[in-house]
Amino acid sequence: MLLLREFMQTFSPNLKNDTLSGLTVALALVPEAVAFAFVAGVHPLVGLYAAFMVGLVTAVMGGRPGMISGATGALAVVMVSLVAEAERDFGSGMGPQYLFAAVVLMGIIQITAGALRLGKFIRIVPYPVMLGFVNGLAIVIFLAQLPQLQSHTPEGKWGWVDGTWLMGVELWLMLGLIALTMAITHYLPKLTSAFPSALAGILAVSGLALFFGLETKTVGDLASIAGGLPEFGVPNVPLTMETLWFILPYSVIFAAIGLIESLLTVTVIDEMTNTRGRGNRECVAQGSANLLTGFFGGMGGCAMIGQSMINVSSGGRGRWSGIVAALFLLSFILFASPLIEQIPIAALTGVMFMVVIGTFEWSSFRMLGKVPKQDAFIIVLVSGVTVATDLAIAVVVGVIVAALVFAWEHAKHISARTHIEDSGAKVYDLFGPLFFGSVSAFKDIFEPETDPDVVIIEFKNSRVADHSAIEAIDTLAERYIAAGKELHLRHLSEECRMLLKKAGSLCDVNVIEDPHYHIASDKLA
């Protein structure tokens, strides 16, 4: 009984909250999945099936209970290129089939990443990059809602292009319903937490529009969501190397975007709930979901920070909330499409605007003048690149810039104090790490022409970090040998000695072993 109780606590800490928040998420998923399908250039049901299957599998298997996954814009804006290229090269109607094949391969790559435990590398993402990711994604979610204020055929990156903005009464009615939804979502929790405020806003605005017969855009204006159960089918593509080489680059990009967005969302939800998700398990779950989705006619997906925020803020903490969201979404497709299609777009847009407000780190504005300039630059850079391109590129750019800034700062920290021992040997007591960024400053410290015959470099307060450092030591040794003098290295850590040993003939210097010196292993760091 104790084990069963512990399992249920993990599966659903609060059954009522998880169920109601799952329903709220399912309603918010409908227009997002439809819009992202249009962006990718496929039928709306392809996006809805992906939202159902990816959401269900990751809710059951994933490493972050309470996180919601489904079809996402970050993937859709890349998928449209694959679909268009396949349609051009292989014939009309072949785009979706090659997309499904690429999603299957994407799943295999993600499962492999999880099996190799690559999820741990998300820890190298610096906090400024995390802030930029969150802020950039909030801006992307905001921009994705703006087309709802237009009347045009859905297509393009954010959903509509060259759309005509709503005017007059229609515009003011839309804005009024959005504002009402936002007000209910914001103020209801101050009165009661017994019912998810986002769901209350959707139901209240929908009831108001139906009761008074308000002429406003509804989910049905996007597309019909009626359909049957997803059917199993192997993607209709030739099983040749040509097909593999065509879909492989796209699959790698899909897998990278999906894993980066999912693992960063895990981190965000961890901070919100003060719990710890399991990154490698999430990689396997995302891969399994996409592998399965590709065989059932879905466009694949990954974690959705917007819907995850709705779920967590509505009280969804367990796996049941994600399962309920997926099952409700399927029921909408099978049975309740006429009812769901009457929900005003304004209600769902209002909920997403509240997600934007809750997601954006407003404190980052105050931080910009207090944190180092390079960190402030990285926050703004990652936010901008996320909006302009996609999440994977933004995070990679942010990590690279942060690493270069780190290397530049630490390159200036290497220095040395000198003294002469009783034996007459000159000792350079080195401070700071010796790596590719600091080798130039390292070489400038020494004076082979004027130094005595024996020189010792003391590494007690330094360490050899990479091959560039080994090459710098070897170059310095050659300078001393050319001057007819001896160079010795003292108090190298075990890892540094191993690095030099592996270099072999690349670095021919004398390492002084000191049995009285107790080396602190770098493995503890």
Rounded to 5, what percent of the chain is helix, strand, coil?
65, 10, 25
Tell me the pLDDT tens digit for each residue of 288-303.
Answer: 999 999 999 999 999 9
Instruction: Tell me what pLDDT residue 290 has.
Output: 97
SS3 293: helix
- Under the banding of pLDDT at 50, 70 and 90, the label for residue 405 is confident
Structural domains of the chain ordered from first start: 14-401 (no CATH), 413-524 (3.30.750.24)
CB of 54 closer than 8 Å to CB of 36: no
Instruction: Tell me what pLDDT residue 189 has.
Output: 87
Q: What are the angstrom distances between the C-alpha of 273 and each of 13, 128, 352?
A: 13, 20, 20
Burial class of 88 by CB neighbour count within 10 A (0 to 12, 13 to 18, 19+): exposed
- Of the two residues 249 and 11, the one the predictor is more confident about is 249
Rounded average pLDDT over 455-469: 85
Instruction: Tell me what pLDDT residue 209 has.
Output: 93
CB of 53 closer than 8 Å to CB of 278: no
Say yes or no to pLDDT of 147 above 60: yes
CB of 25 closer than 8 Å to CB of 307: yes
Contacting residues for 423 by C-beta, under 8 A, at least 6 apart = 454
Question: ∠ CA 435-441-443 to the nearest 5 degrees?
Answer: 90
* Cα separation, 101 vs 85, whole angstroms: 14
- Under the banding of pLDDT at 50, 70 and 90, the label for residue 40 is confident
Burial class of 516 by CB neighbour count within 10 A (0 to 12, 13 to 18, 19+): exposed
Tell me the pLDDT tens digit for each residue of 203-243.
Answer: 999 999 999 999 888 888 877 889 899 999 999 999 999 99
Instruction: Tell me what pLDDT residue 32 has.
Output: 81
Q: What are the angstrom distances between the C-alpha of 416 and each of 360, 433, 443, 462?
A: 45, 11, 11, 10
* Cα separation, 77 vs 315, whole angstroms: 31
Rounded average pLDDT over 508-516: 52
Say yes or no to pLDDT of 374 above 50: yes
* Cα separation, 64 vs 279, whole angstroms: 8
- Under the banding of pLDDT at 50, 70 and 90, the label for residue 316 is confident
Instruction: Tell me what pLDDT residue 426 has.
Output: 92
CB of 26 closer than 8 Å to CB of 304: no
SS3 235: coil
Burial class of 15 by CB neighbour count within 10 A (0 to 12, 13 to 18, 19+): middle
- Under the banding of pLDDT at 50, 70 and 90, the label for residue 470 is confident
Instruction: Tell me what pLDDT residue 112 has.
Output: 95
- 236-245, 487-496, 509-518, range with the lowest pLDDT: 509-518
Measured between alpha carbons, how far apart are the two ends of the chain, in Å? 42
Instruction: Tell me what pLDDT residue 158 has.
Output: 38
State the DSSP string of 436-459. TTTHHHHHHH--TTTS-SEEEEEE
* Cα separation, 510 vs 504, whole angstroms: 12
Residue bearing tokens 């925020």: 309
Rounded average pLDDT over 367-384: 87
Mean pLDDT score of the chain: 85
Say yes or no to pLDDT of 353 above 80: yes
Say yes or no to pLDDT of 56 above 60: yes
Q: What percent of the chain has pLDDT over 70?
A: 90
Closest CA to 333 of 219, 249, 415, 420: 219
* Cα separation, 79 vs 98, whole angstroms: 10
CB of 304 closer than 8 Å to CB of 63: no
- Under the banding of pLDDT at 50, 70 and 90, the label for residue 244 is very high
Tell me the pLDDT tens digit for each residue of 421-457.
Answer: 888 899 999 998 888 888 888 888 998 889 999 999 8
SS3 39: helix
- Of the two residues 107 and 134, the one the predictor is more confident about is 107
Question: ∠ CA 96-98-102 to the nearest 5 degrees?
Answer: 115
Instruction: Tell me what pLDDT residue 156 has.
Output: 43
Angle between helices 95-115 and 73-90 (to 10 degrees): 130
SS3 371: coil
Instruction: Tell me what pLDDT residue 298 has.
Output: 94
**134, amino acid identity:** V
Rounded average pLDDT over 350-362: 87
Angle between helices 197-212 and 345-359 (to 10 degrees): 160
- Under the banding of pLDDT at 50, 70 and 90, the label for residue 308 is very high
Tell me the pLDDT tens digit for each residue of 66-115.
Answer: 999 999 877 887 898 899 999 999 988 899 999 999 999 999 999 999 99
* Cα separation, 482 vs 507, whole angstroms: 15
Length reported for the chain = 525
Say yes or no to pLDDT of 255 above 60: yes
Handedness of CA 143, 147, 148, 149 (dihedral sign): positive
Instruction: Tell me what pLDDT residue 220 has.
Output: 86
CB of 340 closer than 8 Å to CB of 332: yes
Tell me the pLDDT tens digit for each residue of 24-35.
Answer: 999 988 888 887
Return the top range by mean pLDDT from 4-8, 247-251, 398-402, 430-434: 247-251
**394, amino acid identity:** A
Q: What are the angstrom distances between the C-alpha of 214 and each of 38, 105, 129, 210, 341?
A: 27, 46, 44, 7, 14
SS3 423: coil
Instruction: Tell me what pLDDT residue 268 has.
Output: 86
98 token code pair? 């090659």
